[in-house]
Structure 1
Amino acid sequence: MSFMLNIGNHVSSSKGYLAMGKEEISLGGNVFAFFTRNPRGGKAKDINPEDVAAFLKYKEEKQIGRLVAHAPYTLNPCAAKDDLREFAASVMADDLKRLEYTPGNYYNFHPGSHVGQGSEKGIELIAGLLNQVLQPEQTTTVLLETMSGKGTEVGRSFQELKSIIDRTELDSHLGVCLDTCHVYSAGYDIVNDLDGVLAEFDRIIGLDRLKAIHLNDSLTPFNSHKDRHAKIGEGSLGLDAIVRVINHPLLRDLPFILETPNDNDGYRQEIALLRSQYL
Structure 2
Amino acid sequence: MRIGAHVDPTDPLAEATARNAEAVQFFLADPQGWKTPKPREDADRLRAADVDLYVHAPYVINVATLNNRIRIPSRKLLLGHASAAAAVGARGLIVHGGHVNAGDDLAVGFDNWRKTFAYAADSGGFGLPVLIENTAGGENACARHLDALARLWDVLGDHEVGFCLDTCHAFAGGEELLGLVDRVKAITGRIDLIHANNSKGAFNSGQDRHDNLTGGTIDPELLVTVIRAAGAPVVVETPGGVEGQRADIAFLREQLGRTA
| TM-score strictly above 0.5 | yes
Give the corresponding residue for 1:277: 255
- Provide the C-alpha distance between the structure 1 equivalents of 2:136 and 2:119, rounded to a whole number of angstroms: 26
**Is residue 2:38 matched to residue 1:6?**
no
Moved more, 135-144 or 219-228: 135-144
- Provide the C-alpha distance between the structure 2 equivalents of 1:11 and 1:38, rounded to a whole number of angstroms: 14
- Provide the C-alpha distance between the structure 2 equivalents of 1:150 and 1:229, rounded to a whole number of angstroms: 17
Give the corresponding residue for 2:96: 110
Give the corresponding residue for 2:45: 54
What does the per-residue CA deviation read over 1:217-265, in whole Å, with 9 as the maximum and x for residues that have no partner?
01122222322212212111122112223333xx23x211111222122
- The Cα of 1:189 is off from its aligned counterpart by 1.5
**Is residue 2:26 matched to residue 1:43?**
no
For 1:266, what is the secondary structure of its paired residue? helix
- The Cα of 1:71 is off from its aligned counterpart by 0.7
For 1:210, what is the secondary structure of its paired residue? coil
**Alpha-carbon contact 2:194-2:227 (below 8 Å) kept:** no
**Is residue 2:243 matched to residue 1:261?**
no
**Alpha-carbon contact 1:215-1:257 (below 8 Å) kept:** yes
**Is residue 2:210 matched to residue 1:188?**
no
Moved more, 34-43 or 163-172: 163-172
For 2:42, what is the secondary structure of its paired residue? helix
Aligned pairs (5 A) from 1:118-197: 118-134=105-121, 138-168=126-156, 171-172=159-160, 174-190=161-177, 193=178, 196-197=179-180
- The Cα of 1:80 is off from its aligned counterpart by 3.1
- Provide the C-alpha distance between the structure 2 equivalents of 1:137 and 1:156, rounded to a whole number of angstroms: 26
Q: Percent identity?
A: 26
Give the corresponding residue for 1:72: 58
For normalisation by structure 1, the TM-score amounts to: 0.83
Structure 1 unaligned residues grouped into runs of 5+:
none
**Is residue 2:75 matched to residue 1:83?**
no
Match of 2:186 among 200, 203, 206: 203
**Is residue 2:200 matched to residue 1:246?**
no
For 1:171, what is the secondary structure of its paired residue? coil
For 1:32, what is the secondary structure of its paired residue? strand
* Alpha carbons of structure 1 residues 127 and 149: separation in structure 2 relative to 1, 3 Å: farther
**Alpha-carbon contact 1:104-1:141 (below 8 Å) kept:** no
* Alpha carbons of structure 1 residues 259 and 104: separation in structure 2 relative to 1, 3 Å: closer
**Alpha-carbon contact 2:211-2:239 (below 8 Å) kept:** yes
Q: What one-letter code is carried by the residue in structure 2 that aligns with 1:234? A: G
* Alpha carbons of structure 1 residues 83 and 115: separation in structure 2 relative to 1, 3 Å: same
For 2:100, what is the secondary structure of its paired residue? coil
Structure 2 unaligned residues grouped into runs of 5+:
none
Moved more, 32-41 or 159-168: 159-168
**Alpha-carbon contact 2:149-2:187 (below 8 Å) kept:** no
Moved more, 112-121 or 220-229: 220-229
- The Cα of 1:216 is off from its aligned counterpart by 0.5
**Alpha-carbon contact 2:185-2:191 (below 8 Å) kept:** no
- Provide the C-alpha distance between the structure 2 equivalents of 1:151 and 1:162, rounded to a whole number of angstroms: 16
- Provide the C-alpha distance between the structure 2 equivalents of 1:255 and 1:167, rounded to a whole number of angstroms: 26
What does the per-residue CA deviation read over 1:189-217, in whole Å, with 9 as the maximum and x for residues that have no partner?
11xx2xx32222222222xx210001010
**Alpha-carbon contact 1:149-1:155 (below 8 Å) kept:** no
For 1:214, what is the secondary structure of its paired residue? strand
Q: What one-letter code is carried by the residue in structure 2 that aligns with 1:263? A: G
What does the per-residue CA deviation read over 1:28-56, in whole Å, with 9 as the maximum and x for residues that have no partner?
111111112111114244214x6211222
**Alpha-carbon contact 1:180-1:213 (below 8 Å) kept:** yes
- The Cα of 1:169 is off from its aligned counterpart by 6.9
- The Cα of 1:75 is off from its aligned counterpart by 1.2
